[in-house]
Amino acid sequence: MDTTYTPPDPYHPGSRAVQDRVGVRELADHVGRSIGPGIRPVAAAFLELQPMLVIGAADPVTGRVWASLLTGEPGFLRATGPRQLSVAGGPVPGDPLAAALAVPATPVGTLALDPRTRRRMRLNGRSRPTPRGLAVEADQVFSNCPKYLVQRSLLGAARPPATRPRTTRGTALTPAQQDAVAAADTFFLATVHERGADASHRGGNPGFVRVLSAHELEWPDYPGNAMFLTLGNLARDPRAGLLFLNWTTGTALHLTGTARTHYAPDGPRTVRLTLTETHETTAASPWTWSAPVPSPANPPLR
């Protein structure tokens, strides 16, 4: 009897289809060996140093996908089991993911990103509320390279909350929001698929996100690790949520809509988002970060 163990495929059919289209399946297989369900000691130590966590999920009522931010003093994130991430605290009032995170067994994608060291790790699984915040039971844990990550220093202690966060909702980008998006060097992207959810990072020189109208924006899909988790998700389900953070004031701009990938004949890929709803929340983060140091991997703007 053949007792050879074959690990489960870390990729779903959407990601496999994109890998085959681009011709990187062999490389994806190699990189995919780093994906596992366990939180290793080095990952646990990294989590405990972080003051923020990006989280993505779908609203259980509307079905809209959002990317959001959880913050706290370092130590608010802890590995409390070989496959469990515990978070002290929760989203700020008015956060578009508050309802989803209050429901047990919500599929979530999380991203712990440290601008100080240009390191990041992703943990995808299912969340449940706890008396102190929430816990995520991990299905996939892995690190990504520092490509396109902007470096920033954390300036001082967290700002005390002068006022409660205030959320403004809309169905189109205001002129000020369009300017903020066009000037961004970083945003976070939440996507979903039949197995769960994912949260990822996108970075580049300011202007890499192009605002086409009050209802539409696009960005280039720069070469990455060949996994194609995000584009694979969008190939199966076009719902997407974007998060733009003001690194000085702590204001968070959440966008949700549908995204499509456009493949040019000569190779470049572009993702275009059609906007459904906006949430802009002041004081979403208490942290103030320094001026950015661009990633040396950033391509020039086209």
Three-class HEC string of the chain: CCCCCCCCCCCCHHHHHHHHHHCCHHHHHHHHCCCECCCCHHHHHHHHCCCEEEEEEECCCCCCEEEEEEECCCCCEEEEECCEEEEECCCCCCCCCHHHHCCCCEEEEEEEEECCCCEEEEEEEEEEEECCEEEEEEEEEEEECCCCCCECCECCCCCCCCCCCCEEEECCCCHHHHHHHHHCCEEEEEEEECCEEEEEEEECCCCCCEEEECCEEEEECCCCCCCCHHHHHHHHCCEEEEEEECCCCCCEEEEEEEEEEEECCCCCEEEEEEEEEEEEECCCCCCCECCCECCCCCCCCC
What distance in Å separates the CA atoms of residue 238 and residue 191, rounded to the nearest whole number? Answer: 8
Quote the distance between the C-alpha of residue 147 and its chain's center: 15
For position 268, what pLDDT does the model report?
87
Structure tokens at 201: 């990072």
Any domain includes 94: yes
Q: Which residues does residue 277 pair with via DSSP β-bridges, in sequence order?
A: 256
- How many independent structural domains does the chain possess? 1
Q: Is 241 within 8 Å of 189 (Cβ atoms)?
A: yes
Q: By residue range, what is the domain housing residue 252?
A: 35-155+166-281
Any domain includes 98: yes
Any domain includes 249: yes
For position 302, what pLDDT does the model report?
81
Any domain includes 296: no
For position 267, what pLDDT does the model report?
74
Distances (CA, A) of 264 to 70, 211, 218, 270: 36, 19, 14, 8
For position 7, what pLDDT does the model report?
62
Any domain includes 30: no
For position 8, what pLDDT does the model report?
78
CB-based contacts of 149: which residues, under 8 Å, 6+ apart? 113, 115, 118, 120, 201, 203, 295
Burial code (b: 16+ CB inside 10 Å, e: under 16) for 214-231 equals beebbbbbbebbbbbbbb
Any domain includes 206: yes
Any domain includes 224: yes
For position 5, what pLDDT does the model report?
43
Residue 46 φ/ψ, nearest 5 degrees: -65, -45
CB-based contacts of 211: which residues, under 8 Å, 6+ apart? 173, 178, 181, 182, 217
Structure tokens at 149: 């990550």
Q: Tens digit of pLDDT for each residue in 75-100?
A: 999 999 999 999 999 999 999 999 99
Q: Is 140 within 8 Å of 10 (Cβ atoms)?
A: yes
pLDDT along the chain (302 residues), means of 10: 62 94 94 93 97 97 97 97 96 94 97 97 97 97 94 90 84 98 98 94 98 98 93 97 97 98 90 98 95 96 88
CATH number of the domain within which 221 lies: 2.30.110.10
Q: Is 15 within 8 Å of 34 (Cβ atoms)?
A: no
Structure tokens at 273: 């988002």
Any domain includes 60: yes
For position 162, what pLDDT does the model report?
62
